[in-house]
Amino acid sequence: MLWSGLIRLPALLVALVAGLSLSGCASAPRSSLLTEKDAGRSVEMARGDILEVVLRGNPTTGYLWEMVSGDITILRPIGRPEFKPERAAVGAGGAITLRFEAVSAGRTGLKLAYRRPWEKDVPPIETFEVTVVVK
């Protein structure tokens, strides 16, 4: 009787691990990556998915990418923008990554502006816009 229980135990563990790994895949958030080339397009996402927008920039000049419009009840910014310089030189430009989470179903425009935050009456030197549809 002890041997029959021991034989069933590995089969039970395999079934349990397979079930957990399959259920984890179904609910794992996906990540979508957009760059300057994607400006003007529409992106479909599921709730819980992460949108990463990677745009060229140089924070040492005072210019930053900021969200200037979008429905944060549908697409919520997460974390702070991250800067990765293209080379080690002081003042080098590089890539700025902004992340957003799809939090509820709906449709929203996402507009980002590249500007100096303290210059309120000065138009941004660049903008980036996409439409996000969360299912």
Q: Does 24 or 99 have the greater pLDDT score?
A: 99
How many whole angstroms separate alpha carbon 20 and alpha carbon 100? 27
Beta strands in the chain (DSSP E): 31-34, 42-45, 50-57, 64-69, 75-85, 94-102, 106-115, 126-134
Q: CB atoms < 10 A from the CB of 8, how many?
A: 10
Q: Enumerate the β-bridge partners of residue 63.
A: none
| Spacing of C-alpha 65 from chain mean position | 15
pTM (whole model) above 0.85 = no
* pLDDT score of 1 more than 90: no
Write down the residue that tokens 């259920």 correspond to. Answer: 23
111-120 as b/e, with b when 16 or more CB fall inside 10 Å? ebbbbeeeee
Q: Does 117 or 15 have the greater pLDDT score?
A: 117
Supply the mean pLDDT for the chain.
86
Q: Which domains does the chain have, with CATH numbers?
A: 29-134 (2.60.40.2020)
pLDDT band at 18 (very low <50, low <70, confident <90, very high): very low
The whole-number average pLDDT for the span 3-18 is 46
Q: pLDDT per residue over 29-71, tens digit each?
A: 798 999 999 999 999 999 999 999 999 999 999 999 999 999 9
Residue 106, amino acid: G
Q: pLDDT per residue over 64-119, tens digit each?
A: 999 999 999 999 999 999 999 998 888 899 999 999 999 999 999 999 999 999 99
Residue 89 has a pLDDT of 87
